[in-house]
A and B are shown apart, each in its own frame.
Chain A
Amino acid sequence: SQKIEQNSEALNIQEGKTATLTCNYTNYSPAYLQWYRQDPGRGPVFLLLIRENEKEKRKERLKVTFDTTLKQSLFHITASQPADSATYLCALSTNAGKSTFGDGTTLTVKP
């Protein structure tokens, strides 16, 4: 069956460092992959989308990579700030737009 695994534990880093979150999947051939941010009591907010034929995408301090051979995506936040503290979700999607979400990684950036 399809399985998506994100960092199994919460991630704690110091302000200014780079946070790296992982998303591994099995038994799935996604057409594209998305990363979302979710704050407590709020709905997820879209951050980045990367398609299966793309290796890397960047947006300001964010970078995502997508390796379909390793079945893995890495999500980087450079120069992290306490305001980046949140839960980050990866979602794999088919060409029909059906999305399967991971359970998320909770990131805490300490000043």
Chain B
Amino acid sequence: EAGVAQSPRYKIIEKRQSVAFWCNPISGHATLYWYQQILGQGPKLLIQFQNNGVVDDSQLPKDRFSAERLKGVDSTLKIQPAKLEDSAVYLCASSLEINQPQHFGDGTRLSIL
């Protein structure tokens, strides 16, 4: 089966600019996750979707981050405006259902100048 697809792989922007990341999960997977991974740390959950509804977004900085999952398939994560501290790898993962193993994409590496 095809894995989780993410794009772009790399993005460099200046602070205060906006950026968007795209994720296409494994076909048929109901649960989709966005994580932020800072160098040397483990992934930190930003938002979790079940189909097209939000299950958890308690750690999403809502003043600048937004995410949507239209039609319960693809998802986009947006940052506006970006801050220097947002430099990280943004990982998307999907699972067949909640409480099932997660399958990760290779992430988008974001650098803020």
Say yes or no for B34: interface residue by CB 8 A criterion: no
Binds A, one of B42-50, B60-68, B75-83: B42-50
Q: How far is the CB of B60 from chain A (nearest CB, A)?
A: 12
Say yes or no for A70: interface residue by CB 8 A criterion: no
Say yes or no for A41: interface residue by CB 8 A criterion: yes
Q: What residues on B are CB-neighbors of A99 within 8 Å?
A: 33, 45, 102
Bin the interface of chain A by size.
20 to 34
Bin the interface of chain B by size.
20 to 34
Say yes or no for B86: interface residue by CB 8 A criterion: no
Closest residue of chain A to B42 (Cβ to Cβ) is A101
Q: Could you give, for residues 80-100 of chain A, a 1 whenever the CB lies within 8 Å of some chain B CB and a 0 otherwise?
A: 000000000101010111111
Q: Could you give, for residues 1-45 of chain B, a 1 whenever the CB lies within 8 Å of some chain A CB and a 0 otherwise?
A: 000100000000000000000000000000101010000111111
Contact of A43 among B95, B98, B106 (CB under 8 A): B106
Say yes or no for B55: interface residue by CB 8 A criterion: yes
Are B56 and A98 interface neighbours, CB within 8 A?
Answer: yes
**Given contacts A43-B106, A96-B56, A97-B55, is CB(A104)–CB(B101) below 8 Å?**
no
Q: What residues on A are CB-neighbors of B42 within 8 Å?
A: 4, 89, 91, 101-104
Contact of B31 among A42, A89, A97 (CB under 8 A): A97
